[in-house]
Amino acid sequence: MTDRADDGEQTRDDRRAEAIEVLEANRRDGYTVPSETLYPFQWNWDSAFIAVGLAGVDPAAAAREVETLLSATWPNGLLPQIVFWADAEGYFPGPDEWDAGFDDVETSGISQPPVVATAARRVYETTGDDDFRDRVLDPLDRHLSWWRRERSTDGVVYTRHPWETGMDDSPAWRLPLERFDPGDVAYERADRKSAELADQRPTDWDYDRYVALLRQGREAEWDESVLRGTCPFRVEDVLTNSVYVRACEDLAALYASAGEDASAERWREQAEETREGMRERLWSDDLGLFVSYDRVTDEQLLEPTVAGLVPVFGGVPTAAQFERLHETLTTDFFAFEYAAPSYVGDDFAPDRYWRGPVWMNTNWLLERGLRRYDATDAADRVRADSLALCDREGFREYFNPRSGAGRGSDDFAWSAALYLAWTGESQR
């Protein structure tokens, strides 16, 4: 394990100052873009992770980040993956491609893991601002209710696009994507800014299917009652469900702080219902971790991804499951210079997006969850490796777990924000 903490507090303080500078440079009117060069709009779970980090250094900006995102909640409760607050000319897929949103708010037509509830709770507990809490309760409730109403039959929620999972080109999606022919989909990609970056991004084979799924949703006018019976990608993503469980808990805590006990109990019960479903359907004893589930073919997607460790964030594993999961973590995911790679299976690619690199956001979810299970040594390893990567390479989008080399976009907002969260005085 590599740890840069012994290089001195001045180095750590300097890096914190740089993190704040990255966030300020990426700040727009009420929100923060993930990356000026690659992701120039507001992204759902990016803003949530950014608010987590901002809460300790600029709580007013953190609160505004959350509220700006929630202001884009659709009338039906969907909180979109992307909000196009600015001109999107030249970006693909832009608002014309999606043809989604409401009133004058242009958005994508899919969501992302609801980290926003966790961010909102963190902001509230940092500030004690009852007015902020009261403003966010309704949109958070509507959004989590949307997941339960539109994307679940028994408490375990499903996603219908790889982009919606956040882990876009994870090998876990290979089988669901192989199952359908995207047909002739003409488009021009805008995510390849250089030859080096192109080699790290999803392939055209993947992108054809991403675009085909997008256009199917657009043709259905984003009507979930139509898409739940026709969309060829309907996957109970283990990471989304893990975050959803925690979101239900966090919303319950916010309601409890407001004295709304009945609402708090309702969301506690929802969290437990989803936990039980995950323990039963998403656990793989063979792999020793949780996996996603294909609702179309009724089968587990048996790929060893970091998402399979993240259920600790929501308190999902039983004691026996956690014992096996911890063994898998230390044996397979800690078998690298830097933890925790996003994938450790046969198609491991240390520089390619979600097929092997270390990401700060999944490390944060994992580290927080490990502390919930009192796995202090493992949590310390994840935290120390995360800080070492940023100390060494700066705030890159993702990192090679063998060499530590930074990859993807630079000046990446959630890497900077989570560095601030990890190095702050309070380890929540």
Mean pLDDT of 5-14: 69
pTM: 0.96
Task: Give the lowest-confidence range in 111-125, 189-203, 224-238.
Answer: 189-203
Whole-number Å distance between alpha carbons of 190 and 257: 45
pLDDT digits (tens, 9 = 90+) for 348-357: 999 999 999 9
Angle, CA of 221, 223 and 226, to the nearest 5°: 115
pLDDT digits (tens, 9 = 90+) for 257-274: 999 999 999 999 999 999
CB 83 within 8 A of CB 41: yes
Residue 283 class from Cβ within 10 Å (0-12 exposed, 13-18 middle, 19+ buried)?
buried
Phi, psi of 344 (to 5 degrees): -130, 20
pLDDT score for 39 = 92
Whole-number Å distance between alpha carbons of 343 and 98: 30
Give the residue numbers marked as catalytic: 168, 397
Coil vs helix vs strand at 37: coil
Angle, CA of 249, 251 and 253, to the nearest 5°: 70
Q: What percent of the chain has pLDDT over 90?
A: 92
Coil vs helix vs strand at 167: coil
Among 395, 361, 389, 358, CA closest to 20: 395
Indicate the pLDDT class of residue 193, thresholds 50, 70 and 90: low
Mean pLDDT of 233-254: 98
pLDDT score for 69 = 98
Has residue 197 got a pLDDT over 80? no
pLDDT score for 3 = 40
Whole-number Å distance between alpha carbons of 377 and 391: 21
pLDDT score for 2 = 37
Whole-number Å distance between alpha carbons of 428 and 423: 11
pLDDT score for 7 = 52
Among 167, 185, 161, CA closest to 108: 161
Task: Give the lowest-confidence range in 1-5, 142-146, 191-195.
Answer: 1-5
pLDDT score for 425 = 58
Coil vs helix vs strand at 15: helix
pLDDT score for 354 = 97
Residue type at 323?
Answer: E
Whether CATH 1.10.240.10 fits 8-423: no
